[in-house]
Chain A
């Protein structure tokens, strides 16, 4: 009899030890859902935690946020959308703010003739999801240093193009304590100054307000009739310098703590803080030629030439970078 009690006691303890593995505290699942081929954001995707039976839908930026109050470790996130294959991800495989890609389900498109020829959609300074993924150590996101504006030269294949959308990659979540959150900013199309080649007059402007943690912002301007007379123009981002749009970034610098009698300086790290404004644009490494300017004091455009250095065998090796800012055109 005592042996039987002992056996049951061990079983109970074992079961109790397993409990935390089965159920844990609340957790937030969030991210963006993209088309696997085009990488366009997909609105209206249903996202469900199958066992907990909680669900939500992606918004017009393909962004979802699902609060799990009692996360089950063996649960599965399911993504479903008409025209796409259903995707399931184990919650154990979920990474904070991850991109999820859905594949088009051709079997559902009955009555539609599918050909291999793809209509070419002209995109200027196209960037891919892979360029801005924060968990890829080779493509880190960095705080962008411009204070007022940033503009990149766009060269269309011909004149009289129509801009249908603009795409912005903004700084994400390499620090889970500091979500990207709210952002408001202006997007501009600017002329090319005939004398200097720098950004000139503002031709078109659109205000963008983001209230979620989306990293890829697809801004549809097809209804705004942005037609360009010239083949060269600038795409610009202007930061709105209001408190609600601020973001505090930290760094370190060195102070001279002490100078010895022999004149040797002893240095000590001290934290530095500075405000940047949303959105924090993403720099990524790209080998192609790129003409861009930034403005740190009003009216003063300076050439953008940020290099990211990696320590290779103890030596910093610099690489040219682009900013994740692109435009889609029709002719």
Chain B
């Protein structure tokens, strides 16, 4: 049986999350594990520039190394190595804050990174009240058998968020509910090192794996046709969901859609509890829950967008031209 061993697991000062971060950075930035003892650690705290309070789940990504991670609740971040020698661009982003895009070497010698609040606020829209409840991108969850969110043998999955495009008949519709189909395991079968299959004690795995993620809501970017600005500024965090077909009630948020087109995105939280492993080029690489279902229907228009580690939205073409939509439906009142 394969056991993943984190090289820092005997250092009591570090928790599991930090170990994942170290491992990811080492593996993907080409550092030899043999020289760990000599590597300098760069520890940062990411805080709100005004309040000085730590910002949880800030996304940090390197476009060239194709690496991404999050801060935890404490806003802490550690990057191993001599940053002055790195040649890469770091993107530091959090909802409602201005994105920092800078050479990673500019972080050398810092211990605090301050993010400034974005001045942008979505326009106030009068809710429409002419129609009835409508389910957009309606699907039968039993049809979902393809999933996005993991590496495959030939393609690395490198997105911070994935968004589904929706069209509504009128401006000012109210978003009431989101349904998402994901893949979650019960862990009934385990493969031993010599290839035997062992049926595990099923009672141990009576509950599906939990997940935690954020929902983001965007209007359309007129230049690209993809996701544009946030249409809702409060953080919508979904946690402890143990179902495969997730239903998220949004009534309490009063999210008004300003135009006739909008996007709902899942933002992955790169935490220890969300982490899993998927093969890419015969090596196990970290991925994060939830996986997102794909609808096995071809509509002729691709409506899925992914936010890259370089913070650019681009169409998600992995299943093109066959599948065009995520298994995300939206219930709107208009």
Contact = CB atoms under 8 A, between A and B. Distances in A.
Interface string B224-254: 0000000000000000000011000000000
Interface string B1-34: 1111110011010001000000000000000000
Interface stretch (A11-19, A85-93, A99-107, A304-312): A304-312
Interface stretch (B45-53, B104-112, B142-150, B255-263): B142-150
Nearest to B153: A275
Given A176-B142, A251-B185, A243 B4 contact: no
A241 interface: yes
A258 interface: yes
Given A244-B322, A256-B9, A272-B278, A306 B197 contact: yes
Contacts of B191: 145, 251
Contacts of B190: 251-252
Q: Which of A241, A247, A253, A268 has the most CB of B within 10 A?
A: A253
B152 interface: yes
A315 B6 CA distance: 30
Contacts of B6: 255-256
Query: What size tier do the contact residues of chain A reach?
Result: 35 or more
Nearest to B209: A271
Given A270-B275, A273-B287, A274-B279, A253 B4 contact: yes
A250, A306, A307: which has the most chain B beta carbons within 10 Å? Answer: A250
In this complex, which of A258, A267, A273 has the most chain B Cβ atoms within 10 angstroms of its Cβ? Answer: A273
Contact of A256 (B3, B142, B296): B3
A271 B289 contact: yes
Interface stretch (A37-45, A177-185, A226-234): A177-185
Q: Which DSSP category, helix, strand, loop or mixed, fits chain A's interface?
A: strand
B183 A248 contact: yes
A269 interface: yes
Contacts of A244: 146, 319, 322-323
Given A181-B296, A272-B276, A309 B3 contact: no
A203 to B, nearest CB: 29
Interface string A287-325: 000000000000000000111111100001010000000
A195 to B, nearest CB: 26
Contact of A250 (B184, B192, B318, B323): B184
Contact of B322 (A243, A268, A270, A283): A243
B1 A254 contact: yes
A210 to B, nearest CB: 13
B197 A308 contact: yes
A199 interface: no
A174 B195 CA distance: 21
Contact of B3 (A143, A255, A273): A255
Given A177-B244, A181-B296, A251-B191, A271 B276 contact: yes
A179 B146 CA distance: 10
Given A177-B141, A270-B275, A273-B150, A257 B185 contact: no
A208 interface: no
A248 B291 contact: yes
Interface in B111-159: 140-147, 150, 152-154
Contact of A309 (B146, B196, B289, B296): B196
A194 B18 CA distance: 56
Interface residues of B, number: 55
B24 to A, nearest CB: 13
B35 interface: no
Contacts of A283: 197
Nearest to B140: A28
A30 to B, nearest CB: 10
B38 interface: no
A28 B205 CA distance: 28
A246 B145 CA distance: 9
A254 B4 contact: yes
B37 interface: no
A316 B198 contact: yes
A140 interface: yes
B39 interface: no
A155 to B, nearest CB: 25
Given A177-B142, A258-B9, A310 B16 contact: no
A250 B287 CA distance: 13
Contacts of B323: 244
A250 B182 CA distance: 12
A310 B201 CA distance: 10
A121 interface: no
A261 interface: yes
B199 interface: yes
Contacts of B278: 272-274
A273 B274 CA distance: 13
A225 to B, nearest CB: 34
Contacts of B209: 271
A180 B279 contact: no
Interface string B148-179: 00101110000000000000000000000000
Interface string A147-164: 000000000000000000
30 contacts: A140-B199, A182-B296, A241-B153, A243-B318, A244-B146, A247-B145, A248-B147, A248-B183, A250-B183, A252-B205, A253-B277, A254-B4, A255-B3, A255-B5, A257-B9, A258-B9, A261-B12, A267-B3, A268-B16, A271-B187, A271-B209, A272-B284, A273-B277, A275-B150, A283-B197, A306-B195, A306-B197, A308-B197, A316-B196, A318-B196
Interface of B: 1-6, 9-10, 12, 16, 140-147, 150, 152-154, 181, 183-185, 187, 189-192, 195-199, 201, 205, 209, 244-245, 275-279, 284, 287, 289, 291, 296, 318-319, 322-323
Given A178-B145, A252-B185, 11 more contacts: A143-B189, A250-B184, A251-B185, A259-B9, A259-B10, A261-B12, A272-B276, A273-B279, A308-B199, A309-B197, A316-B198
